[in-house]
Structure 1
Amino acid sequence: MLGKFGADDHFHPMKRISFSTQVFTGMAAGLALGFWARESGSPALAEGLRIVGETFVQLLRVLVVPLVFTAIVASIAALRDLGNAARLVAGTLVWFAITALIAVSIGLTLGTLIQPGVQAGVDAAAAVRPGTTGSWLDFLRGLVPANILGLAASTKQADDGSLTTGLSFNILQIIVVAITIGVAAVRTGEAGAPFLAFNAAALAIFRRVLRWVVRLTPIGTAGLLGHAVVQYGWQSLAALGSFAGAIYLGLGLVLLVVYPALLRLNGLSVGRFFAAAWPAIQLGLVSRSSIATLPVTEAAVERIGVPRSYAAFAVPFAATTKMDGCAAIYPAVAALFVAQYYHVPLHATDYLLVVLVSVIGSAATAGLTGALVMLTLTLTTLGLPLEGAGLLLAIDPILDMGRTAVNVAGQALVPTIVARRQGLIDQIAPAHTEEPVAQPA
């Protein structure tokens, strides 16, 4: 998706600096500015960091709907020429389940050994029943589009009483609409050919716009990371240190041990995979949004060598339902935390229920946002008090950074493994160290 520089970039001054260096510089600047704003109490700097970070994420999010729609329609047109399309879809679902099973097993093991609920110093008064909860009916409801674009309007009231109206989108509904229209266009034959040609042209245009937005990644990273430092700091970790430690230990094991092992077992280069996927993982870490990171994740998967026709389907679908951080490790450890905190004994059947919810529960919460939905679904299934989720909200943004990074890595991993097992790639394409996957064209 994002290749080498075009002729219009011949004299671009940033060409001499690798994209990885630019991103790391942005991260360092964000940390420094964030701590400076926090220590000095400068509201102007803090507000500036927030605006820069939110603007960058918004620019990415505004491209998600047209990119996902046109890419999936184009992938449907391309998949008709592949004889193994059904095996690709089946393989994707199987590997979703396999990786989720491994991740939730790690979460349950760590929650049992570390016992974060027993060691917690959080006040019981912090327990608040969340306003948003997960339901097994959400998946079926989410499949039915509210409109042709999967958009919904919402109105929020600010602290000063003012009302703000905005649009949100359900990525799962967009996928359903795009698949339906893509199949219909292909089945229509010659009459659908002009539409498919227009869609291909629109996709090329949106990809070009994406390259321009990706140029801003170092600046956006500085704003996002700086704002996170200003707003959350690290002092909230004190009372829930053992819980946060268990979460990040589990995330680290999945990202740095499980994923590399799966890559090696499938004959793929670990170093080259992470070199290609790093920009997406890094953006997921600071943006805390798999959906906002989706275009960059798809670019990484294509750079690895996964065919565009498959990546355009697998990555958006994964960004909706493949969440090893939010839907496996976190709810497993958090459910054990709540049970331990309220002294509710759990039995073998309860552990199996946690596994079941984690393996298929992300589909049940597809189209909804936040790990809180997945956690409440797990607590409801186990019959644990939903108020327990409120105990963990103080440090949720800090945990969400690591969760999303692992989510994004898994969303790039599964299409890579499936493509390799189906013979679509022989090995990971050679990495260009001077121009990582997100380097603009």
Structure 2
Amino acid sequence: MSHTETANPKKGIGLTTQIFIGLILGVIFGYAFPKYAVELKPVGDMFIRMIKMIVVPLVVSSLVMGIAGTGDFKKLGRLGVKSILWFELATTIALFVGLFVVNVFQPGVGVNVVASDAGSAAAAAKKTIDMTQMLVNLVPTNFVDAMVRGDMLQIIVFSTFFGVAAAAMGAKGKPVVDICISVAEIMFKFTFYVMKLAPIGVFALIAFTVGKFGLGMLLPLAKLIGSLYFALILFLALIVAGATLVLRVNFFHLIRAIKEPMLIGFSTASSEAALPLAMEKLEKFGVPKHIVTFVLPTGYTFNLDGSTLYSALAVVFIAQVYGIPFDYSQQLLMLITLMLSTKGIAAVPGASLIVIAGTLAAFGLPVEGIGIILGVDRILDMARTACNLTGNCIAAVVVARWEQELPDEVLQVAYAQSYED
């Protein structure tokens, strides 16, 4: 297919290397010339907007094409159940890893309490997440409005029903499915062109971040940053090793295959920015299109491993900062609370902040403690986003293997290609 062109780099510096160089140069430029680096924000914003305009048509066309092409609605139900089971297992492991790391390293002990933005913290505390209303909001009243707002869950619900109806129409529905196939291929080609600009976009975004916040602001909270990064790496290592042993799939090859979308997700702190490229890389790895287009967008709502882990770590961190006893029984209760409150909130602006604020209030901890971590939240968000992306790519491979749609012979080809890349 035409969209595989991105996977065959020409001679010279590969895209991954270019992105990494852009990231490093952005840090240097932001540190050396902070005044000018801050002015680069519009360049980075333009790159993010270019990626976001790809996402909706790509997800809609791919999902309709995948569902209509499958034509097996029992299979679609199985995909949903298996995806949710894996999402729940992964997020539970993420919560336990977060609690383990924050209790062992105790990053909040010894931190001077300086509420850098108590106003934002108070505003977050006033917001609540109504789970019943969230379920109601799964169903769009206006599909065009859902597309305009980029509400991925509503888009998935509509596209799923539309794909089922198109499949049920048989020959009459085939022209529409063919159009969706063409649109998906065009959007992958679109992605190929946009990704040529990725090193410039990454450079601008990182330079702005360092120029605005500086490297000095990292020092007081270096232990928190280090703890989160270590916890996320530990979580991914556990998931990758466990899935490799159980499913007989070398997930380390998968990590190699998705290194470019991981770097995009990390440097932009935007899951949407990495989604088109991640879908392409997973298909090249051998995961069927209908699984990729179902699991990945759904995972961005129900399988936010990095954000879930961070929520658990941040709540205990704030308790440590204020010297408030927060024993293991309370932490386990908090874990159960977060299992529910972190599901289905990806579309809510500042979702992690709202969840943390609500959890702090529920356990009698000072909500203004959020102000302490706001200053470094961008640095933390970069790691969370990369983990969210990686976790969802792993989920797609797990579900494909579970459905017996990723045979060993396909994997052997994928392994060879991952080294070529």
The TM-score, its normalising length taken from structure 2, stands at 0.88
Give 1:28's aligned residue. Answer: 24
Once superposed, which parts of structure 1, at least 4 consecutive aligned residues long, lie more than 6 Å away?
Answer: none
Give 1:157's aligned residue. Answer: none
Give 1:147's aligned residue. Answer: 142
Structure that is richer in helix per residue: 2
The one-letter amino acid of 1:195's match is V
Give 1:275's aligned residue. Answer: 256
2:103 to 99, 104, 112: 112
Give 1:393's aligned residue. Answer: 374
CA change 1:377–1:186 in 2 (3 A) is farther
Deviation string 1:154-179 (CA, Å, 9 cap, x unpaired) is xxxxxxxxxxxxx6422122112211
1:71 corresponds to 2:65 = no
**Structure 1 counterpart SS, 2:343:** helix
CA change 1:179–1:267 in 2 (3 A) is same
Mean CA deviation greater in 218-227 or 302-311: 218-227
Give 1:230's aligned residue. Answer: 211
The one-letter amino acid of 2:104's match is L
The one-letter amino acid of 1:17's match is I
Q: Tell me, in whole angstroms, the C-alpha distance in 2 between the residues paired with 1:373 and 1:334.
A: 12
Correspondence list, 1:96-245, <5 A: 96-124=87-115, 126-128=117-119, 129-132=121-124, 133-137=127-131, 139-145=134-140, 147-151=142-146, 168-245=149-226
Deviation string 1:73-123 (CA, Å, 9 cap, x unpaired) is 112112324864333221111111111111110111122223333322132
The CA deviation at 1:247 is: 1.3
1:330 to 293, 310, 314: 310
Q: Tell me, in whole angstroms, the C-alpha distance in 2 between the residues paired with 1:357 and 1:192.
A: 44
The CA deviation at 1:273 is: 1.0
2:274 to 293, 306, 320: 293
The share of aligned pairs that are identical, in percent, is 30
Q: Decide whether the 8 Å contact of 2:117 with 2:371 is kept in 1.
A: yes
The CA deviation at 1:380 is: 4.2
Q: Tell me, in whole angstroms, the C-alpha distance in 1 between the residues paired with 2:244 and 2:341.
A: 25
**Structure 2 counterpart SS, 1:363:** coil
Q: Tell me, in whole angstroms, the C-alpha distance in 2 between the residues paired with 1:184 and 1:269.
A: 37
CA change 1:277–1:196 in 2 (3 A) is same
1:422 corresponds to 2:403 = yes
For structure 2, which runs of at least 5 residues remain unmatched after alignment?
none
CA change 1:361–1:291 in 2 (3 A) is farther
Mean CA deviation greater in 206-215 or 280-289: 206-215
The one-letter amino acid of 2:4's match is G
Mean CA deviation greater in 102-111 or 117-126: 117-126
Correspondence list, 1:352-371, <5 A: 352-370=332-350, 371=352
Give 1:164's aligned residue. Answer: none
Q: Decide whether the 8 Å contact of 1:139 with 1:366 is kept in 2.
A: no
Q: Tell me, in whole angstroms, the C-alpha distance in 1 between the residues paired with 2:310 and 2:368.
A: 17
The TM-score, its normalising length taken from structure 1, stands at 0.85
The one-letter amino acid of 2:22's match is G
Deviation string 1:330-382 (CA, Å, 9 cap, x unpaired) is 11111112223344433455323332243343324132244213323433443
The one-letter amino acid of 2:26's match is G
**Structure 2 counterpart SS, 1:143:** coil
Give 2:14's aligned residue. Answer: 18
Deviation string 1:6-30 (CA, Å, 9 cap, x unpaired) is 9xx9xx9x64433333223322332
The CA deviation at 1:300 is: 2.1
Q: Tell me, in whole angstroms, the C-alpha distance in 2 between the residues paired with 1:190 and 1:255.
A: 45
2:319 to 339, 350, 366: 339
The CA deviation at 1:72 is: 1.2
The one-letter amino acid of 2:41's match is R
The one-letter amino acid of 1:131's match is A
The CA deviation at 1:386 is: 2.6
Give 1:58's aligned residue. Answer: 49
Q: Tell me, in whole angstroms, the C-alpha distance in 2 between the residues paired with 1:294 and 1:306.
A: 15
The one-letter amino acid of 1:100's match is T
Q: Decide whether the 8 Å contact of 2:44 with 2:204 is kept in 1.
A: yes
The one-letter amino acid of 2:96's match is S
Deviation string 1:202-247 (CA, Å, 9 cap, x unpaired) is 2222222122112222222222222222122222223323322221
The CA deviation at 1:64 is: 1.0
Give 2:5's aligned residue. Answer: 4
For structure 1, which runs of at least 5 residues remain unmatched after alignment?
153-166, 437-441
Deviation string 1:369-420 (CA, Å, 9 cap, x unpaired) is 4421332343344343332222211110111111111111101011111212
CA change 1:376–1:199 in 2 (3 A) is same
Deviation string 1:232-279 (CA, Å, 9 cap, x unpaired) is 222222332332222122112123444334334321224311111111
Give 1:159's aligned residue. Answer: none
